[in-house]
Amino acid sequence: MKPTKGRIAAFVACALFSFSIDTCLSQEAATIPVNFCKDASKLVVCTESQEAARLALGMGDYALANRITASEECLKAIYTYSKSMLCSVCSGDVRERTFARKQIQRLGMLAAPAIIDNLSSMNSTIAEECFKNLSTMRSEQLILEIIERTKNADSPRKKAALIWALGKMTEQRDPLVPGRKCMSESESSRLADTLIRPFLKSLNESETDKEVLAAIEQAFKELERAFDGRLKPMDAKSAAELEKRLGLDRTPSTPGVQGAEP
């Protein structure tokens, strides 16, 4: 289901209202900087990676801190760019892949419409990137949007993908953008209990499609598992075991034995 301009505008407007920091939920709609929509247009045609990174980060940070509205043309430009970055995560060039992933996270909620529309991508790399990004940018409004999309999905595949995304909403990850934070474990758990599990339970009672039912069952398991993908300091024992597996053991031993000092 291709998004209409109106649908993109409606989702971004309500998503940005919710996904804010500090006291932004209570503030009045902010005046968009003169360069906001211009920057969106520049981003689509920008060929300099540093400039593209600056534009995406600036727009993403502003969207996090302010409730904004923007023209349909501006939102369409952001959507187009976000979709192109999702395609680039499959690039054979490591630097291009890494840059694309960071750009998506720099844009944050501005990229959400394109991310949700590509959850059911036949390309597993793109689909996985969408799931990961939604888990880092989750908010109550985003969860409600995914639930609404699930209700209106026009195929079992799309519905199953959206349900799978709901199952990712208790995951903990480290955003690639410095200073950005993933929702806390306690808040994630609260939203899972008050919004996601009740919806999945209700859907499970009325659904008949086997693919969708399997997705619901897996989503419940994922919510319970609450996968933690954050980087953690490695203790000395784990570090030593890893060194051995990589053939980096530097423990003095008999000459000629693998692992000995040269």
Using one digit for the tens of pLDDT, what is the confidence trace for 187-242?
Answer: 999 999 999 999 999 999 999 999 999 999 999 999 999 878 676 666 677 667 76
Total domains, the chain: 2
Q: What is the mean pLDDT of the chain?
A: 81
Q: Do the beta carbons of residue 98 and residue 107 sit within 8 Å?
A: no
Pair (76, 157) in one structural domain? no
Pair (182, 110) in one structural domain? no
Which of 39-53, 57-71, 152-166 has the least mean pLDDT? Answer: 57-71
pLDDT for position 33: 64
Q: Residues 2-19: pLDDT tens digits?
A: 455 555 555 555 544 333
pLDDT for position 125: 94
Pair (153, 235) in one structural domain? yes
Pair (93, 162) in one structural domain? no
Which of 21-25, 87-91, 153-157, 202-206 has the least mean pLDDT? Answer: 21-25
pLDDT for position 159: 96
Q: Is residue 133 part of a domain?
A: no
User: Is the per-residue pLDDT at 249 higher than 70?
Assistant: no
Instruction: Report the predicted TM-score, pTM, of the whole model to 2 decimal places.
Output: 0.73
Q: Is residue 72 part of a domain?
A: yes
> Domain containing 4: what range?
1-117
